[in-house]
Amino acid sequence: MEHAATLPQTSRRPATPLTGTITVPGDKSISHRALMFAGLAVGETRISGLLEGEDVLRTAAAMRALGATVERTGPGAWRASGPGIGGLQSPDDVLDMGNSGTAARLLCGILASHDIFAVMTGDASLRRRPMRRVIDPLGATGAVFAAREGGRLPLSVRGAAEAMPLSYRLPVASAQVKSALLLAGLNARGITEIEEPEPTRDHSENMLRYFGAEVEVATHGTGKLIRLRGQPELRGADVVVPGDPSSAAFPIVAALIVPGSRVTIGGVGLNPLRTGLFLTLREMGAAIEIVNAREAGGEPVGDLIVTASDLRAVDVPAERAPSMIDEYPILAVACAMARGSSRLRGLAELRVKESDRLAATLAMITANGVKAQVDGDDLIIEGGGARGGATVATHMDHRLAMSALVMGLATETPVTIDDARFIDTSFPGFLPLMRGIGAAIEAAA
Ligand SMILES: O=C(O)C1=C[C@@H](OP(=O)(O)O)[C@@H](O)[C@H](O)C1
Ligand SMILES: C=C(OP(=O)(O)O)C(=O)O
């Protein structure tokens, strides 16, 4: 790639505390959905604060290839409109979803209930990830999927000419699977019904309603029952994307573990199905104050004031995992710096992310001198600080890259990562933003 010599980056303890007021880029989950729903709706949608990371740009390109109008009008400002539900067309070429599981899986839902043919692929990381979790249930719409062995990309789909509505109980806690089925249900005649035993992020349900669909959500045991009436008239609507709490996690943990730091992060999304990390960090003794709580674009938002804190170990229950599923690598860094032994439970889903995040997180901290082990689906971490000094293999995984660089801000010797390129999938501008608050991160020698 272009700047091959600067791919490895090194972080070290800064000479002074981290300080400043920052904002993080827009929420990745909401950004994907805003482009997809806008591309299915009639009339114009204006989006502000869209995450312009690689993953979301893949969704923009795919929606364009399917016949939607998607244009950038300024930084984070986008305009999109579509032909209405059922009106998308076969793309001329293969859809390349890059590194993005969300883009690939949600798009499968759209394709399943359109009378079109499409082929989808992704990068080496995405081509390893399981797609059966969406293509198996989506087959009941009448769509015909064919995928590589093991249900991996590339795949092809001949969408259903008249999609059947689905009734499905999610076997894994996955907002991607739920959202793919809801997207398919948009162009099915009748009610699509999804039972979700463990609640996962509900941005699709919220945004579908906002665009004019009829979505009912009822409590069902410990989970939810979601019912969507098919073939609504989706109308374009303006979307304000809040700051991504999963991105805010990195400067938050950095501020907590670099002594004397105080950092304010403005406009962070605080949807309760996304804030498991903040709850957990507070249980560890973190000083995270939420001020100026408000609503933006139908989602709760607030400013976070984070002050360096003496962290203590934590035991995180498995039920909390869906509300912080992407935050375990950075939580592992906080646990390594905390006093005592932490246990993070129920992490099986981490094995099928951009990398095997359970194995890679363990390797990241142990290579830098932290005692830790995996026990079944749990990660056990002995706190007390870390030596550092290792080069961390990031396995095409943005969250590992950022976590390792944050860890190096509090280790005895610097931490290096092998490849910083994938950070752009979710957090373009991470390196300058962190340097701007005083983080010592530079190209490795
Ligand atoms: O729906 C979404 O936008 C996402 C859901 C989660 O994936 P799963 O549904 O696979 O848990 C999460 O890891 C991903 O970053 C974004
Ligand atoms: C798992 C992630 O994303 P995706 O599944 O969209 O690749 C993530 O952003 O951490």
> Residues 365, 216: one domain?
no
Q: Which of 326, 397, 419, 424 is catalytic?
A: 326
> Residues 246, 232: one domain?
no
Number of domains in the chain: 2
> Residues 35, 121: one domain?
yes
Entry pTM = 0.98
Check whether 129 has a pLDDT greater than 50: yes
Range of the domain at 35: 28-240
426: Cβ below 6 Å to ligand 2?
yes
Residues 150-206 have pLDDT tens digits of 999 999 999 999 999 999 999 999 999 999 999 999 999 999 999 999 999 999 999
Nearest CA to ligand 1 atom 10: 174
> Residues 8, 39: one domain?
no
To test ligand 1's pocket by mutation, which of 27, 325, 327 has the most ligand atoms within 8 angstroms of CB? 325
> Residues 301, 357: one domain?
yes
- pLDDT tier for residue 4 given thresholds of 50, 70 and 90: very low
- Of 194, 215, 240, which residue constitutes the final position of a domain? 240
> Residues 211, 253: one domain?
no
- Of 240, 272, 295, which residue constitutes the final position of a domain? 240
> Residues 49, 128: one domain?
yes
190 is in an annotated binding site: no
Ligand 1 centre from 105 Cα, in Å? 10
> Residues 15, 87: one domain?
no
Residues 8-63 have pLDDT tens digits of 999 999 999 999 999 999 999 999 999 999 999 999 999 999 999 999 999 999 99
- Of 240, 263, 290, which residue constitutes the final position of a domain? 240
Q: Which residue has the tokens 């995996």?
A: 374
> Residues 170, 32: one domain?
yes
> Residues 228, 348: one domain?
no
> Residues 337, 436: one domain?
yes
**pLDDT (mean) for 141-154:** 97
> Residues 211, 313: one domain?
no
**pLDDT (mean) for 303-323:** 98
174 is in an annotated binding site: yes
Which CATH number belongs to the domain containing residue 60 in this structure? 3.65.10.10
Query: Read out DSSP for 71-117?
Result: EEEETTEEEEE-S-TT-----SS-EE-TT-HHHHHHHHHHHHTSS-E
Residues 217-263 have pLDDT tens digits of 999 999 999 999 999 999 999 999 999 999 999 999 999 999 999 99
pLDDT value for 6: 58
Is the N-terminal amide bond of 154 cis, ω within 30° of 0? yes
Under DSSP, the state recorded for 211 is T
Query: What mean pLDDT, rounded, does the chain reach?
Result: 97
**pLDDT (mean) for 338-364:** 98
User: ipTM for the complex?
Assistant: 0.99
Q: Is the dihedral of CA 271, 421, 372, 355 positive or negative?
A: positive
Whole-number Cα distances in Å, 101 to 55, 105, 193, 212:
9, 6, 23, 26
To test ligand 1's pocket by mutation, which of 27, 28, 29 has the most ligand atoms within 8 angstroms of CB? 29
